[in-house]
Structure 1
Amino acid sequence: MKISVIVPVYNSEKYIKKCIESIINQSYRDIEIVFINDGSTDGSLNIIQKYKKLDNRIKVINQSNSGVSAARNNGIKNSIGDYITFVDSDDYIDSKMIDKCAESLKNTDLLISGFTYEFKDKNEDKTYESSFICNSKEFVQNYFMESFEKLLLYGPYNKLYKRTIINKYDIKFDEDYSICEDAMFVFDYLLKCEKISGITENFYYYVQHDQSLISKYNSNAFDATWKLYNKIIKFLNANNSEIKNINIVNYSYEHRFLGCMDSVYRKSNLTIREKYSILKIYTLEDRFQKLLIKCKEKSIKHWLIKFLLEKKKIYLFHLLCLLKYRNTK
């Protein structure tokens, strides 16, 4: 069984050597390694080409800078493995990752393992409490909430995907977004799965650094978050989820939307007038107001925020945000 490892690359010369070596040194040998160079302007491509001369399993595809979603889609198109996994070029994997994951597949449609957030001064592991193999409805009933709360479903990494499902349903990364697009892919795929397995081990190291997108303002964050939220709810409804699961997702996404609003005030270079305009547009939307009504707040701080937005006291909330972030961008 051949496994395709797809690696999108853009200006990763500081990290990519460790990434490449972690893949070529896998104990599972029947792999192809597909690097999609997304118009890098640093030495990333030169480093990849040097390793390509040493390992004939490496394939290199160049494209003009089009974003990580386009790169991953290009990798899917130009790979041939029975199963596919993704590794980001600034991350790395344990040498036994593919071997252990392939061993646990047992012809399931999706395998999910744990992963590790790697920070400069600490690590944070995200793992299942117990291994499992089940159908989609059993997954939603017994394992979805653990997966959701531990963020095991949000990235395309730490998983093996069956190529036949991706091809049959034309599942792709949404190239219109540079945020939430990875989780959208996962939930599009989950919706088509019949059999899912999870293992307790964590083999993937998700390296956190200052250039992370999470630290930046993204102008389409609201729209992307809504799109992802709808995909999650669609998956739960398709598998007869209990209402408690949907309530927890609603509560989580109310806070995610508040986080999007935070980023407008804290991370953007927009004018005060532009910030207020964005706040009005998104908080007065009917879909956001309905979400507010569904959620019960547990702290005084968030109860106050919810009260102001639900009562449409938008300008007062705007003033509080300006006050809170007056010394930040």
Structure 2
Amino acid sequence: MSPFLFGCQFMLVNLLNYSISITSQIKRVVSMSGQLFFSIITPVYNGEKFLNENAQSWLKQTYPNFEVIYVDDGSSDNSRNLIEEIVKCDQRFKLVCQDHVGIAQAIKRGIQEAGSNYIVFMDQDDIAMPWRLEKTAEAFANGAELIMGDYEIIDEFGKPTGRIVSFPSFITSENLLLEQFKRTYFLGSAMAFKYKGDFEFHVDSGGATDYDISLKMLLRDYQFVYIPDILIRYRVHNRNTSANYSKQKQDVKTIFSQYEHQELFQHLLQKGFNPFEVSLSLGICYLFQNNLDVASPYLQKAMLLIDQSDRRTYQECMFYNSVLYFLLDAYDKSFELLHDLVKKGYNNPSIFNNIGVMLVYFDQIAKAKDWFNQARDLNKQYSDVAHNLKLLNDNHVDYRDYKFTTRLLREVLTHIQIK
């Protein structure tokens, strides 16, 4: 007997009749009260281990007007059969099958099959909180077109890790577009949006499809609303698409191949952002893609326009210019910028780690270890500094093997890095 059928037998004594009765009422509810109807899109690839919990979380919703579209992307495990059994339990669940062509194509197919333009995303291994759709409906009713909420991190076995990820306090609807060029603040599983059909999905965006979608919506002035509540439990494990950072960087590079950076610069200026903000954001964006020819002039321009009174953007500008110099093998200049940040009281662990790496390059091993230890004290889950301390303790002499962090560390780390 499959895990889900066992779950069905456990629940359906009281739940199946309830689910069917709710389903039969959906059309009447929509026509009589005008309540929104949601299409939930979930790409599936070899996800049989998690599908039972995923489906059960939708059955527990306090808001009944939805369909769940599972797009099986050519799974080789029992996922397809399990979804077929889920569909038999509740007709709000649907199965769409395709050959294995990737997550972006699966999302696109799901939206094509959707019965609503109010779209909710969730990955196969994540769990919706019971109030997710109800709170999402409230936000849409108040004018939202693009929605993001908080999420709780669980491990592979569903155990809470004690970590909750929220939008940073400095992010507002006014600056979100610019900040989105520096790094994405959208997790696909916690997203919802009203799709107007005014852009195309990039079919090769892979694990960064949520970035592609959110950036296009923000560029088109979709009304963003943040829900300060936990909407999902987000499962972190080595098989997360977004855990593979090297692949994710390539996906982001693919996304930005759609844009001319000069046109982006002018477009952002026309939206009212100042030249420093735009230069810094685009510089960081293209630096992350390792496109130094584009990143360098933007970061250098930002240095000329820098506002020292804004500590957050000052730290970003100095740090990412130090990364640029490091990648250009200008180690003295990179170290100088990092040291300036320390003198001004900045204590991000990425800064301390990178000073340590520079000291290794300068053959000042004892000092390097002290800086690595300070970085570890600030963030004990910091993988780069753990790697560097191990090399030092093993008396490893090849400085090229030490990890120079190219991004300011976020307060909450959500992924295990895959080499």
- TM-score normalised per structure 2: 0.58
Structure of higher RCO (CA pairs closer than 8 Å, 6+ residues apart): 1
Q: CA deviation at 1:66?
A: 0.8
* 1:205 to 2:250 alignment: no
Q: CA deviation at 1:243?
A: 3.9
Q: Which amino acid aligns with 2:173?
A: F
* 1:217 to 2:254 alignment: no
**Residue 188 of structure 2: aligned partner:** 156
Per the alignment, in what secondary structure is the counterpart of residue 114 of structure 1?
A: strand
2:128 is aligned, of 85, 93, 99, to: 93
Q: Which amino acid aligns with 1:22?
A: S
Q: Which has the larger radius of gyration?
A: 2
**Residue 297 of structure 1: aligned partner:** 318
Task: Decide whether aligned partners of structure 1 residues 300 and 31 sit closer, same or farther in structure 2, where only a CA change above 3 A counts.
Answer: closer
**Residue 294 of structure 2: aligned partner:** 287
Task: Decide whether aligned partners of structure 1 residues 175 and 309 sit closer, same or farther in structure 2, where only a CA change above 3 A counts.
Answer: farther
Give yes or no for contact 2:129–2:232 (8 Å, CA) kept in 1. yes
Task: Decide whether aligned partners of structure 1 residues 203 and 236 sit closer, same or farther in structure 2, where only a CA change above 3 A counts.
Answer: farther
Per the alignment, in what secondary structure is the counterpart of residue 53 of structure 1?
A: helix
Task: Decide whether aligned partners of structure 1 residues 161 and 303 sit closer, same or farther in structure 2, where only a CA change above 3 A counts.
Answer: closer
Per the alignment, in what secondary structure is the counterpart of residue 139 of structure 1?
A: coil
Deviates more, 1:107-116 or 1:86-95: 107-116
Structure 1: any 5+ residue segments left out of the alignment? 132-137, 259-281, 312-316
Give yes or no for contact 2:120–2:193 (8 Å, CA) kept in 1. yes
* 1:324 to 2:345 alignment: no
Cα distance between partner residues in 1 of 2:266 and 2:254: 15
Q: CA deviation at 1:36?
A: 0.4
**Residue 215 of structure 2: aligned partner:** 187
Q: Which amino acid aligns with 2:163?
A: N
Structure 2: any 5+ residue segments left out of the alignment? 1-35, 156-160, 303-316, 333-360, 362-397, 404-417
State the identity as a percent: 20
**Residue 85 of structure 2: aligned partner:** 50
Give yes or no for contact 2:153–2:236 (8 Å, CA) kept in 1. yes
Give yes or no for contact 1:130–1:200 (8 Å, CA) kept in 2. no
**Residue 273 of structure 2: aligned partner:** 241
Q: How is 1:225-264 mapped onto 2 (pairs within 5 angstroms)? A: 226-227=256-257, 236-237=268-269, 239-250=271-282, 252-253=284-285, 256-257=288-289
1:140 is aligned, of 174, 185, 188, to: 174
Q: CA deviation at 1:98?
A: 0.7
Task: Decide whether aligned partners of structure 1 residues 62 and 221 sit closer, same or farther in structure 2, where only a CA change above 3 A counts.
Answer: closer
Higher-helix-fraction structure: 2
Task: Decide whether aligned partners of structure 1 residues 49 and 202 sit closer, same or farther in structure 2, where only a CA change above 3 A counts.
Answer: same
Task: Decide whether aligned partners of structure 1 residues 14 and 60 sit closer, same or farther in structure 2, where only a CA change above 3 A counts.
Answer: same
RMSD: 4.0
Cα distance between partner residues in 2 of 1:139 and 1:300: 27
Give yes or no for contact 1:37–1:61 (8 Å, CA) kept in 2. yes
Q: CA deviation at 1:124?
A: 3.1
Task: Decide whether aligned partners of structure 1 residues 321 and 57 sit closer, same or farther in structure 2, where only a CA change above 3 A counts.
Answer: farther
